[in-house]
Amino acid sequence: MANSVVSNVVHDGAVNVLLVVTGILDTSDHAIADITTISGLNPVPTLLRLDRVFYSIEDALSCRLWWHATADLLIMPLAGRGHFDFDWFGGWTNPKTAGYTGNIRLSTAGWVGVKHFTLALEFTKQFS
């Protein structure tokens, strides 16, 4: 088999986006890659603001979320199971570092044997 990482835009509304990412890693860690591109959303925003993260990651594995830029910028590492709510302070916004695209990226670390993860990410579209 080969690694399988699938991103599904479950909801693409006028303002909100719900992205669900599932992964089965059976050969190696997942190298950093886009899990969503803003150009594929409708309407197309300038940026995405991260409001909530729900995650379930098999033990010993960690997932890392990144803002895509010339030098990708770490949003957060995730391990285990849980959730974060950033909406109460206005969400986690893209810092717009050099070469930013607005896309969200994912990588993993800690692969040994077959590992699974599921992430649900809620975003608010920004138009600026």
Domains and CATH numbers, the chain: 4-126 (2.60.120.1330)
pTM across the whole model? 0.95
With vertex at residue 51, the alpha carbon angle to CA 53 and CA 15, rounded to the nearest 5 degrees, is 125
Q: Which pLDDT belongs to residue 21?
A: 98
> pLDDT tens digits for the chain (128 residues)?
789 999 999 999 999 999 999 999 999 999 999 999 999 999 999 999 999 999 999 999 999 999 999 999 999 999 999 999 999 999 999 999 999 999 999 999 999 999 999 999 999 999 98
